[in-house]
Structure formats: C-alpha cells, structure tokens
Amino acid sequence: MHCLAGKDRTGLAAALLHRLLGVHADDVMADYLLTNTAGDPARRIASAAASIRERYGPQMSDEAIVALMSVEADYLRTAFAAIDEQHGGVEAYAAEVLGVDAARRQAIAARLVA
C-alpha cells in the first residue's frame, strides 16, 4: 500500500481499529474522509508540494499532488473489500494477519472504549 503524508497506512490502521471496536462502517468512512478537510488542507498540500516534486519529479502537476495528499472513499472501500474477500472480514484479518485474536481485541477495547 502506498503511503504519503501519513494518511494511507495510518488511515487504514485507524479504520481497521474502529471496525474491530464496533464502530459503524459509515462512521469509519466519515472519519477517514476527514483527511480531506481537517485542519488547513490547502496549506498542508502547498507545504508538501516541493518535497513531492523533488521526490517524483518537477513535472508533477498540482492535480497529481492533490490526489497524492487526499483520500477517496473508494480507497477504503477497496481495502475492506480485499480484506473481506481474502480473509472473510476484519476480525479474521486481525487474527490471521495481525495476530489480534478475540481476547486481544477485548483487551484493546477495554483500554480504548470508555
């Protein structure tokens, strides 16, 4: 998975955690999409443009940079669809891939959910 600006892997990790804790999928998506509006996105994108062009080349258009610094609902939908298809759901994915079984999920929930 590509990750730029701490939004892709981090966003998926936060979304997985929310789902494991029982947060409704619509609320998970709404939280994920806050990346596009939280803080001052225009300033964040402008401040990253120089380093992105340095890394990927000066031909990077403003539109491409905005795409790299933003999220789309389809990104998260596609990730969860792949998890569902390959593992049967987030709980199975957490157990099989992350080593987070039911007992560990309960311990996480006890620490994070008031």
CATH of the domain at 73: 3.90.190.10
Question: Tell me, what's the pLDDT at 6?
Answer: 66
The pLDDT of residue 19 is above 60:
yes
Q: Cα separation of 92 and 87, whole Å?
A: 6
Q: Is residue 1 part of a domain?
A: no
Position 1 pLDDT exceeds 60: no
25-66 tens-digit pLDDT: 999 999 999 989 888 888 888 888 999 999 989 999 999 999
In the predicted structure, residue 84 carries a pLDDT above the cut 70: yes
Per the CB < 8 A criterion, the answer to whether 61 and 67 are in contact is: no
d(CA 80, CA 97): 14
Catalogue the active-site residues: 3
The larger pLDDT score, comparing residue 22 to residue 2, is at 22
Q: Is residue 2 in some structural domain?
A: no
Distance between CA 6 and CA 36 in Å, rounded?
13
Q: Is residue 77 situated within a structural domain? A: yes
Question: Would you say residue 22 lies in a domain?
Answer: yes
Q: Does residue 85 belong to any structural domain of this protein?
A: yes
Residue 72 lies in a domain: yes
Residue 66, domain extent: 8-112
**Number of domains the chain is built from:** 1
